[in-house]
Amino acid sequence: MPRRLFQLTILLCLPLSLHAQSGGAARTQIYGGYSYLSNSINGVSGSHQPLNGWDASVAMLNWHGLQFKADVFDYRQTSLGAPQDLLYIGAGGQWIHRLGREYGFVEGLIGDGRLNRNWVAGGMPGNTASFLTLVGGGLDTPMTRHLAIRVQGDFQYSNFTTDYLPVPDVVHGLPNYFFRATVGPVWRF
C-alpha cells in the first residue's frame, strides 16, 4: 500500500513539474525572503558578527532579459553592546537568462543605507547614512508555473563612519565590504 501511494504521488506531481518548466521569462517578479549579511557594521577585527534580516524586491519591465529592479533589505540585531537597525534601499538593473529549467540572473544596484544613531560599540553615535553599491547574482528554480525558489549571493559596499565621535574615525577597521546571501520564494508573472 505505501508503495502504491508513493507511485500515485509521483504520478500526480509529474504534470506540475513539467508545467513549471514551460514558458518564457516572466515580465514581473516579486521576491521576499531571508537575508544574511556577513558582518555587522561595527564588527571590527576580532568581533565579526553576521546579521540576519529580510529582503524584498520587485523586478519589472522585461526587455530582452533586462529588467528594472528595486530592492529593500533590513537587519536588526545587537553587536558589541550597540543596537543595529540597518535598512538599505537600492535600485538598478537585473539581467535574467534561462539555463535549462532554471533562470540565472546578475544584477547591479546603487542606493542608500540608513542606520540608527548609536550603532558604534558601546552605543556611541556614528553617521546614519551611507551610499550603497551592490553586484551579484543568483538562480531561480521553478516550483510551479508562477512560483520559484531563489538563491542569491551579492557583494556589497557601504561606508558608515564614526565622524560624530570627539576624535573622528577613532574606531579603526570598520568594515566596508560585505557578502550578502538571500533565499526565499519569488512570484513570477
Mind listing the pLDDT tens digit for each residue in 16-65?
A: 444 444 455 678 999 999 999 998 887 776 677 899 999 999 999 999 99
Per the domain annotation, does 3 fall within a domain? no
2 vs 56, residue with greater confidence: 56
In a domain, 1, yes or no: no
For residue 114, is it within any domain? yes
Residue 168 has pLDDT above 80, yes or no: no
pLDDT at 16: 45
Residue type, 4: R
In a domain, 6, yes or no: no
pLDDT > 80? residue 156 = yes
Residue 4 belongs to a domain: no
pLDDT at 4 over 60: no
> Which residues span the domain enclosing 148?
24-188
Contact (Cβ atoms closer than 8 angstroms) between residue 159 and residue 38:
no
Count of domains observed in the chain: 1
CATH classification of the domain holding 94: 2.40.160.20
Q: What is the pTM of this model?
A: 0.79
**Residue 9 resides in a domain:** no
Q: Is the pLDDT of residue 172 over 80?
A: no
CA distance 79 to 64: 44
Name the residue with cell 565590504: 177
119 close to 111: Cβ distance less than 8 angstroms: no
pLDDT digits (tens, 9 = 90+) for 104-141: 999 999 999 999 888 887 777 788 889 999 999 999 99
Q: Is 162 a member of any domain? A: yes
Long-range CB contacts (within 8 A, 24+) of 44-47: 44/121, 44/171, 44/172, 44/173, 44/174, 44/175, 45/173, 47/79, 47/80, 47/121
Alpha-carbon distances, residue 25 vs 59, 77, 82, 115, 188 (angstroms): 12, 37, 44, 36, 9
Structural domain includes residue 17: no
| Mean pLDDT (whole number) for 8-15 | 48
